Structure 1
Amino acid sequence: MDNVVGELGWGRTKLIRIESAKVRLSAADLRKLGKLYGADANDLARLHELMDAAGSTPWFAAYTDLLTAALMEYIELEAMAAQIHMANTGVLPGLLQSRSYATAVYESQPHIPDPDQAARLVEVRMKRQRVITEDGVPLRAIIGQALLHVATGGRDVLKEQLGLLAEMSELANVELRVVPFSAERAILTSGISVFDFDAEPGGDQEPSVAFTEHEGSMLLRDAELDVRRFRRLLDHLATQSLDPDESRHMITKRMEEL
């Protein structure tokens, strides 16, 4: 296992879930494994046939040429999660971004993708939101008040984005909290996401995983101690934030000011 993780740059969680059929193997990952194990073209072709016969591929498999391995793993686990907790003070979480805001975010990054790639990245971000709007996965998101004032994409884009935040905060499965400027003990230097999973019938509880996001990088943390520490940080940030009703009021008030 360690050899595969090291050679392919995967997290141990991803490999374990592939081996236990919790995560569907993508065509790109199959090619990587085949190359690592020395499979020839005929073997790979047969494995592709078996994989296709096992069921339909997930929607994000169509974007393997675009997404980094880390982001693909993040999306895979996000799609499987039974509950999502996240916090970010630098940029709004992708699950809560409007299309215009997401476009502006990609246009503001140091390494701006070409227009075709940017459009597909925004498309991925919009499709990811189905776990919240269609599947009803519980989401607790914590954002910094500054994000209600930074006009990413311009005033109109920000106003539209605030309207979406207010709308999403009304969903029964969404708990949106804002950390106000007045918070005295709320420091977050990166984005954090923690995914919890349902237990398999008659099986053990699936271990939770955490991701940290920094500029240009995303790192999976699946050690039990790391997950526990990040969960504790998220709980602490919640105590420093406004409650959902107060947060919604702040968002709508800011939207009216624009």
Structure 2
Amino acid sequence: MADLRPSRPQRRVRYLSDEAVPIAQRMVVGSHLRAHRERLGISLKDAGMHIGASGSKISRLETGQHEFKAKDIGRLLDFYAADDTARQYLMELLEHANQRPWWQDWSDVATKQLQAFVSFEEMAQRIRTYEPTQLPGLLQTEEYARAVIEAGAEVSSPREIERLVALRQRRRQRFEEAPLHSKRLISVIDEVTLIRPFGNRGIMGRQLDHLIALTDHPRHTMRIAELSKPNLPVMLGMTIIFDFENRLLPDIVYTEQFDGAFILQEEKQVDGRVKAFDRLQNASLSHQRSAQRLRDLRKAL
């Protein structure tokens, strides 16, 4: 089989709305289809005409925004003259991509952008995160998560709140139960998120206890960005970097604003965010000193 490594998407920045959004498992299939097409110099329009579709549909297939039909993929692979090994591999990926994901059980409350995020989180081998306004979701206790969601503007009923809390806890459970080698979280924690409380004093105390316990877990690395340290390079804002095993996908950067989310996939943009994250991580307290700072904050609470 030819070396058809996933190529970079054509769009550099993708705004995630409640319309069609990319799903990681589909993106894997789409990136391989793009590599086959580009290897032969076939245009999106010509590929679409071969299966009786538009070039825009091929683009949506390649970027993971459209569900796959085995018949269409088979005809495209014929057109791309894919060999038997490549065909078998793509069809196995396709079967996995078309399976109903576990988070679909929360589709009544989870926005399309949240479902896209969970798909990246589910597939990533390493996650690097900096969130300046709250603790990362995978570090949150149930009651802290409830307080954060209640403080947000995106929910309107107690039922929605409890459903979203349950989804967040399910994400955390799956992350913690995954084989140790397959999941790792590197968190740069802004100290302000440890000082500005969500919920009440008891909730924050138990949240700190949880973080202290996680500092001994090999899956987790925590670095606290000190509030009192001048000139910390925190300007990158909310940044989550997803790294995928065996380069199934190129690295993806996810970032949120109040009214929406974006993913960055273009190599230069991703590299810039990674370097900014590394600068902040290196300027923050070490893992050991961060653990001590957590213990100090817990005593002072």
TM-score after normalising by structure 1: 0.78
Q: What is the total number of aligned residue pairs between the two structures?
A: 231
Pairing 1:156–2:202 present: yes
Inter-partner Cα distance in structure 2 for 1:54 and 1:142? 32
Counterparts of 1:163-178 in structure 2, within 5 Å, are: 163-178=209-224
Closer/same/farther in 2, CA of residues 15 and 226 from structure 1, 3 Å limit = farther
Counterparts of 1:79-118 in structure 2, within 5 Å, are: 79-118=122-161
Inter-partner Cα distance in structure 1 for 2:66 and 2:159? 24
Unmatched segments (≥5 aa) in structure 2: 1-8, 33-64, 73-93
Could you tell me which amino acid in structure 1 is paired with residue 187 of structure 2? A
Out of 2, 17, 21, the residue aligned to residue 10 of structure 1 is: 21
Inter-partner Cα distance in structure 2 for 1:58 and 1:98? 24
User: What secondary structure is seen at the aligned counterpart in 1 of 2:150?
Assistant: helix
Out of 280, 283, 291, the residue aligned to residue 240 of structure 1 is: 283
Pairing 1:224–2:271 present: no
Inter-partner Cα distance in structure 2 for 1:89 and 1:57? 33
User: What secondary structure is seen at the aligned counterpart in 2 of 1:194?
Assistant: strand
Pairing 1:142–2:185 present: no
Which structure has the larger Rg? 2
Could you tell me which amino acid in structure 2 is paired with residue 16 of structure 1? M
Deviations 1:158-210 (A, max 9, x none): 001111111122110110110012322322463110010112xxxx6631101
Could you tell me which amino acid in structure 2 is paired with residue 84 of structure 1? I
Out of 173, 179, 195, the residue aligned to residue 242 of structure 2 is: 195
TM-score after normalising by structure 2: 0.68
Match of 2:105?
62
Closer/same/farther in 2, CA of residues 119 and 149 from structure 1, 3 Å limit = same
Q: Report if the CA contact (8 A) 1:95-1:128 is conserved.
A: yes
User: What secondary structure is seen at the aligned counterpart in 1 of 2:160?
Assistant: helix
Mean Cα deviation higher: 7-16 or 108-117: 7-16
Pairing 1:121–2:164 present: yes
Closer/same/farther in 2, CA of residues 131 and 227 from structure 1, 3 Å limit = farther
Q: Report if the CA contact (8 A) 1:209-1:227 is conserved.
A: yes
Inter-partner Cα distance in structure 2 for 1:159 and 1:153? 10
User: What secondary structure is seen at the aligned counterpart in 2 of 1:129?
Assistant: helix
CA drift at 1:62: 1.0
The RMSD of aligned alpha carbons is 3.2
Kindly, what percent of the aligned residue pairs are identical?
Answer: 23
User: What secondary structure is seen at the aligned counterpart in 2 of 1:82?
Assistant: strand
Could you tell me which amino acid in structure 1 is paired with residue 238 of structure 2? G
Closer/same/farther in 2, CA of residues 241 and 52 from structure 1, 3 Å limit = closer
Match of 1:25?
none
Counterparts of 1:15-54 in structure 2, within 5 Å, are: 16-19=27-30, 30=67
Mean Cα deviation higher: 5-14 or 155-164: 5-14
CA drift at 1:226: 1.5
Inter-partner Cα distance in structure 1 for 2:212 and 2:267? 34
CA drift at 1:17: 2.5
Could you tell me which amino acid in structure 1 is paired with residue 203 of structure 2? V
Q: Report if the CA contact (8 A) 1:13-1:222 is conserved.
A: no
Closer/same/farther in 2, CA of residues 188 and 165 from structure 1, 3 Å limit = farther
